[in-house]
Chains A and B, each alone.
Chain A
Amino acid sequence: MEQQISKLYHQESRWVLATLIRLLGDFDLAEEALHEAFIAALNQWPETGIPEKPREWLVSTGRFKAIDHIRRQQKLRTISHQLSEQQIQEVEQQDFDTYKLFHDDQLRLIFTCCHPSLTTEAQIALTLREICGLTTEEIAQAFLTKAPTIAQRIVRAKNKIRDANIPYEVPHLSDIPERLDIVLHVIYLLFNEGYNATQGELPIRVHLVQHAIELCQQLEQLMPRPETKALLALILIQHSRRDARHDDNGDIITLEYQDRSLWHQDDIQQGQQLLVASLQSRIRHPFTLQAAIAAVHAEAKSFMQTDWAQIIELYDVLLSIQPSPVIELNRAVAIAMHHGPQSGLTLVNDLIQRKQLLNYHLLYAAQGDFYTKLEQHDKARQAFVKALSLTEQEAEKRFIQERIKKIS
């Protein structure tokens, strides 16, 4: 029974929490009510059996416990959680037991945790803790930070939600694209944080990818939108390469040298289907184009057989809706593959002349690569040395050092 309840906790606790926050109007009070509801379940269910609708039972019990607690506190006249008797009665009478409400509450929680008035760091920490159910310590480990720092971020974010009266609601239809973008950005950052971690060293960072995928899937189910499908497609296709991106020593293997038979075809297929679905709408979101580029790579039998012309076209559209020097750099690499290293080099040197990405190691790594192919060894070496000075990540450093060694 205890095992069953613990499984239910895993499945249901975030749903119960989301609804309790709406009913009680307070994150902390809701969390407390959630705990009490599960303690009550542990005490009662072994005798009564698991109720037919456990989620409803837990919400109802949590709410009852919270109201009981508020009434007791008010007798003691302490300041926390002051509610008038009328407000308490309102809480008692609010509905919660329809599928639609549970569904909306989960969306409310997602949009509140990613509210634009919170900093990105706070959005990430809140999302991981309140929606994904990670502990403060796990979040700290994933972001290589101390637990008290993350804890403070969460406390401040919750205070801000309370003090600034950030409404617990799904945004109005007209605001959804903008607000959804913030949520998708948080999911993408989570993915990136896990995806770019050196393999094997810190398993919790790798788990971030799984959380990002689950969150994106959940969001897609709650609110099917083309941009969410596109992000999920992008993540799945990039993630399909996970086993091919590093060798046994944790050294980076670039796309060019990856063993494509290690790519997870099930992820690629799922990503392709989502991409097709997302392309059916007229909305051209940057994630749609990025996913399309990833899909072209995924479909290529080998690096040499990549459809570079199509990739360049996709980059052109991407740049027209989202001008960015990083995308220009990626496009330059594709151009070099299609038209030769000199064409790529011209574009990279143009970026440098415009003082773009001067602290970005991959800019100089690309420059070094082009010079190497053009057999301008001194310039290639210079570029790689510059790239080396700009990265702290060990695997990246080893990769660049290897390139320097190979220059004859």
Chain B
Amino acid sequence: MKYIALVYYQEDIMNGMTQQEWDSLNHECMDCSERLTESNNLLAGQALQQVSTATTVRVRDGKALTMDGPFAETKEQLAGFYLLEADDLNHAIQIASKIPPARFGSIEIRPVRELQLEDNIAGGHG
């Protein structure tokens, strides 16, 4: 089954690291991705630029409206994602607990929802 692991942390904590600490964490993440790719558990993944680079777009009445910054201001910011292939939720948890930033922030795991032509699950009720 496919799961997405969304990595959140407080950018302030990362900004407070020395160059060496930050490099070492990045190195760990590369190592982690490599290992997960080797074991066929990583389908895709990417780290993201800081939240200050975010742009939010909405379409209302056919017009695209853009805004600087993220959709919502939160304490922890989205920092990256891993698309995982795992046997089940506990397996996904086990993999996600090895993602290095889990030690600083949090990882949200969600099963992916495959889009279908009809009978899509959740939403659209009533």
Contacts of B87 in A (CB 8 A): 35, 135
Given A76-B31, A78-B28, A137-B1, is A35 in contact with B90 using a C-beta cutoff of 8 Å? no
Contacts of A362 in B (CB 8 A): none
B58 on the A face (CB < 8 A): no
Check if B90 sits within 8 Å of A136, measured CB to CB.
yes
Question: A66 CA to B70 CA in the complex, in Å?
Answer: 41
Contacts of B28 in A (CB 8 A): 76, 78
Question: A76 CA to B32 CA in the complex, in Å?
Answer: 11
Contacts of A135 in B (CB 8 A): 1, 87-89
Min Cβ gap B107→A in Å is 13
Min Cβ gap A135→B in Å is 3
Question: A135 CA to B87 CA in the complex, in Å?
Answer: 7
Check if B91 sits within 8 Å of A148, measured CB to CB.
no
Please list the residues of chain B having a beta carbon within 8 angstroms of any beta carbon in chain A. 1, 28, 31, 39-41, 87-91, 93-94, 98, 100, 111
Min Cβ gap B4→A in Å is 15
Contacts of B40 in A (CB 8 A): 39
Question: A137 CA to B92 CA in the complex, in Å?
Answer: 12
From 144 to 174 in chain A, residues with beta carbon under 8 angstroms from any chain B beta carbon are 147-148, 150-151, 154-155
A32 on the B face (CB < 8 A): yes
Task: List 22 interface pairs A-B (beta carbons < 8 Å), by A numbering.
Answer: A28-B94, A31-B94, A35-B87, A36-B39, A39-B39, A39-B40, A76-B31, A78-B100, A129-B88, A129-B90, A135-B1, A135-B87, A136-B90, A138-B88, A147-B89, A147-B111, A151-B89, A151-B90, A151-B93, A154-B90, A155-B90, A155-B93
Min Cβ gap B120→A in Å is 18
Sorted nearest first, the 10 A-B pairs with minimum C-beta distance are A135-B88, A136-B89, A136-B88, A151-B89, A136-B90, A147-B89, A154-B90, A151-B90, A28-B94, A137-B88
Q: Closest B-chain residue to A150, C-beta based?
A: B89
From 308 to 347 in chain A, residues with beta carbon under 8 angstroms from any chain B beta carbon are none
Q: Can you add 8 more A-B contacts, CB < 8 Å, to A137-B1, A148-B89, A155-B90?
A: A31-B91, A32-B94, A76-B31, A129-B88, A135-B87, A135-B89, A136-B88, A151-B90
